[in-house]
Structure 1
Amino acid sequence: MTDHTPETGGSHQPLSDAAAAYPELDSVLSSLGAFYLYRRTAHNNLTHRRRLQFHALPLSQQSVLSAPPINYPEILSRLDDAIEHNAEISEAIFRHSIEAFGIDPEILKGKEWLNLVTADDLDKVRSTIKQFYRDWSAEGAKEREACNAPVTKELEERFGALSAEDKAKISVLVPGAGLGRLAYDIAVAGYSSQGNENSFHQLMASNYILNCTSSAKQHTLYPFASSFSNHRSRDNHLRGFAIPDVHPASGLSVAAEENRFSMAAGDFVAAYNNPEAAGQFDVVSTVFFIDTAVNIFSYLETIWNTLVDGGIWINCGPLLWHWENREADLKLASEEAQGLELTVDEVLEVAKAVGFRIEKRERGGKAEYIGSGNDSMLSWIYESEFWVAVKIPKEKK
C-alpha cells in the first residue's frame, strides 16, 4: 500500500529478482543508507537540537519546564529511548537488506556511499517506520479493516466455497503492496498472492518483517515519536506498539510450501503491461494505489492486461493524486506524459473504455490513515470508494 501522507532472501523469496528489476545501485545504496543513518539523524534532529534550544531559554523558563508535571528534560530522555527502539528496527532492515539485494559488503566498508542519501530518503524511512504501525500492529487493525476487509470479503463471497485445493488456484495480484500485509492476509486465507512494490524503502522493510522476524511482538515501535505536533498528551506522543502482531513466517508456512506467496519488485506498469504478464491473474486488488498513477490509463490498461478473461478488479481507496502540481518530480520520475486528475466517476468511465464492466460500486466508508491515537489533534480520514469490475475480452467489448 503506497504511502498517502516489496525478490530478497528468506524462506519466501519475495525479492529474488530485485537485482534485475533494480539495476540502479546508487538508488539501492541511498535507501540502505537512510536506514543506516536513522539513529544518528533522529537523535540529532529530535533531541539534540531541542536540548540546545532548552538550554538557550531564560533560567526562569527552564525552571518551569523542568519541574513536574512537564519534566521536559525527562521527555527528551524518553524520546531518546524511543529513537533507540526504532533504530533497532531500522538497522535490522539495513543488515538483512544487504544480502537480500545482493550488495557486495566491500562497497559498504567506506562511507562514501552514505553521501548518496537524500533528505527524501530519510523522510521515507520515517514514513516506513510509521507504516509498520498501520500494517503490522494490533492497534493498526482498525485502519487495515477499513480498507483491506472489503477486498477480503469480496474474495470470500466469490471464492470462499471452493475447496482448499481450488481456492489455492485463485491468483491475486496486489500492486502497491507496501509492507505486504494485504498480500500476506490473502495468502493466509488460502489464495495465491503476489505483491508488487516499487519503493526500495518499502521493499526492504517488507522483506524484513515477512522473512526475518523471529516471533510476534519482537519489536517495540514508536511511530509517532518523530513529530511534536498535535499531541494532547506526551504519553500519546511516546506510546510504544508491539510489532509484528503475528509471526509472518508461521502464518505463511503452508503458503510457502505450496509456493502461493511472493513479492515482486519493480514498477507496476513496466513489470505487468507486457505479453508475458497477460492473463496471469484471476484478481487484481488495488488498495490506496490507483491515485499514484502518472497517467490513469496506463494503470487501468495494465490491470486489464494481467487479468484472465472475466477476471475481477477490486479497488478500495481515495483519489489523492500523487503527481498533482509536482511537475519537476514528474520529469524525473517518468518519461510518460502526465495524465489528468480525474474524479471517481471519470475514472470509472475510463475503466469502461479500457475494457471493464463495473459490477459493483459503493462508498468504501471512512478510512483513517496512520492516526496517532485518541489524544491526537490531527487525523487523516478518507471517504474511500469501493468497486468491483470485470474484464471484458476485447472481442466482446
Structure 2
Amino acid sequence: MNAPFVYYSLALDLGGFEVTSNEWSSFMNIAYRYVEALSNRNSATFFPFIDWWSHQASTADLLRPVQFPDVLPSNANMSSHPSVLHIEGDFTSMHHGLPPSETKYDIVVTLFFIDTARNLMSYFETIRKSLKDGGTWINLGPLLYGSAPFLQLSLDEIIDVCEGLGFEFLDTDPKCGELTLNGKKARGTTVPYGLSERSLSKNAYKAQFWVARKTKNGV
C-alpha cells in the first residue's frame, strides 16, 4: 500500500526537467486532478481550519480562507508536451512491462513516503532499479510507519541496508539540518505538519533528509 508522494525526475537538458509523479491514494489523486484542471492562480478557496476547535486563540481564526493554486500546474497551459506526467497506482509496479530505457531516471525524490511501505525492502529495490548508474536519490520525511508494515527499520538500519544495496550517502549542507547520528550523513530537520501558525499547539516531525548516489556496487 503506497500513500503520499513520490516524484521521479528525468533531466532532459539545460532547459528543464521532465517529471513523473506517482500516487496510490485515490483521495490524493482526486485532489491532484482538481488542482490540475485549474487555469487561474488563486482561483479556488477553501477553509482548512474550520473544524479545528481545539487549541484556538480566537473563533475568527477558524474562518480564515486559503486560496490556491499559488503556482499553476504545468499542464494548465495545455502545452503539447507537458513537463509533468502523473501515474496513479502502486509505486513498486507502475513500470511493469515497460522497457528499462523508459524507466530509468536521473533523480528520484521521495517526500514523506518511505515510511508508508508495507514492504520497505521493495521500496528500496524499486528506487534503486529506477535510477541510472550515478543517479541521485533525495529523501525527506519521518519514520512514522503505517500500513501494517512487515519491517520497521531505524534510521541507522536504513542507511546500512541502502549502502549494502549500492547507495553512497553524500555530504549535504548543514542548512538542511543537524546530523542525526554520528558518522552518518542523514540530517534531521523540524518539519511542521498540519500546522496553523495561529494555533495554541504545534505538530511537527523530525524529518530525515539525505542525498544518496546509486553506484554500480551493491547486491
TM-score band by shorter chain is 0.7 to 0.9
Unaligned runs of 5+ in 1: 7-150, 160-164, 169-189, 324-329, 331-337
- 2:109: which partner in 1? 285
**Alignment-mate amino acid for residue 345 of structure 1:** D
Distance (whole Å) between structure 2 residues aligned to residue 358 and residue 351 of structure 1: 9
- 2:204: which partner in 1? 381
1:356 to 151, 161, 167: 167
> How high is the sequence identity, in percent, across the aligned residues?
33
Distance (whole Å) between structure 1 residues aligned to residue 82 and residue 44 of structure 2: 28
- Contact 2:105–2:131 (Cα < 8 Å) also in 1: yes
Render the CA deviation track for 1:217-252: whole Å, top value 9, x for unaligned: 1122101112322212111112111111123257x6
Q: Going by fraction, where is strand more abundant, 1 or 2?
A: 2
- 1:81: which partner in 2? none
- 2:40: which partner in 1? 215
- Contact 1:272–1:306 (Cα < 8 Å) also in 2: no
Structure with bigger gyration radius: 1
Unaligned runs of 5+ in 2: 172-184
Q: Going by fraction, where is helix more abundant, 1 or 2?
A: 1
Render the CA deviation track for 1:106-134: whole Å, top value 9, x for unaligned: xxxxxxxxxxxxxxxxxxxxxxxxxxxxx
**Alignment-mate amino acid for residue 355 of structure 1:** G
Secondary structure of residue in 1 paired with 2:133 = strand
- 1:340: which partner in 2? 151
How far residue 258 of structure 1 moved from its aligned partner, in angstroms, is: 3.6
- 1:315: which partner in 2? 139
Render the CA deviation track for 1:58-114: whole Å, top value 9, x for unaligned: xxxxxxxxxxxxxxxxxxxxxxxxxxxxxxxxxxxxxxxxxxxxxxxxxxxxxxxxx
How far residue 287 of structure 1 moved from its aligned partner, in angstroms, is: 1.0
- 2:93: which partner in 1? 270
- Cα RMSD over matched residues? 2.8
Distance (whole Å) between structure 1 residues aligned to residue 209 and residue 127 of structure 2: 16
- 1:244: which partner in 2? 69
Distance (whole Å) between structure 1 residues aligned to residue 39 and residue 98 of structure 2: 39
TM value normalised by structure 2: 0.80
Distance (whole Å) between structure 1 residues aligned to residue 90 and residue 3 of structure 2: 12
Secondary structure of residue in 2 paired with 1:228 = coil
Render the CA deviation track for 1:306-336: whole Å, top value 9, x for unaligned: 111111101111111123xxxxxx4xxxxxx
Distance (whole Å) between structure 2 residues aligned to residue 388 and residue 339 of structure 1: 25
- Contact 1:222–1:240 (Cα < 8 Å) also in 2: yes
Residue correspondences, number? 201
**Alignment-mate amino acid for residue 367 of structure 1:** V
> CA 1:222/1:201 → structure 2, altered by over 3 Å: closer, same or farther?
same
How far residue 207 of structure 1 moved from its aligned partner, in angstroms, is: 1.1
2:14 to 153, 167, 176: 167
Distance (whole Å) between structure 2 residues aligned to residue 346 and residue 272 of structure 1: 28
Q: Where in structure 2 are the equivalents of 1:1-397 lying within 5 Å?
A: 2=3, 166-167=13-14, 190-210=16-36, 212-249=37-74, 253=77, 256-272=79-95, 276=99, 280-323=104-147, 330=148, 338-360=149-171, 361-374=185-198, 376-394=199-217
**Alignment-mate amino acid for residue 247 of structure 1:** L
- Contact 1:363–1:383 (Cα < 8 Å) also in 2: no
> CA 1:2/1:367 → structure 2, altered by over 3 Å: closer, same or farther?
farther
How far residue 282 of structure 1 moved from its aligned partner, in angstroms, is: 0.8
**Alignment-mate amino acid for residue 344 of structure 1:** L
Runs of 4+ in 1 over 3 A off after TM superposition: 256-259, 272-279
How far residue 253 of structure 1 moved from its aligned partner, in angstroms, is: 3.8
Secondary structure of residue in 2 paired with 1:300 = helix
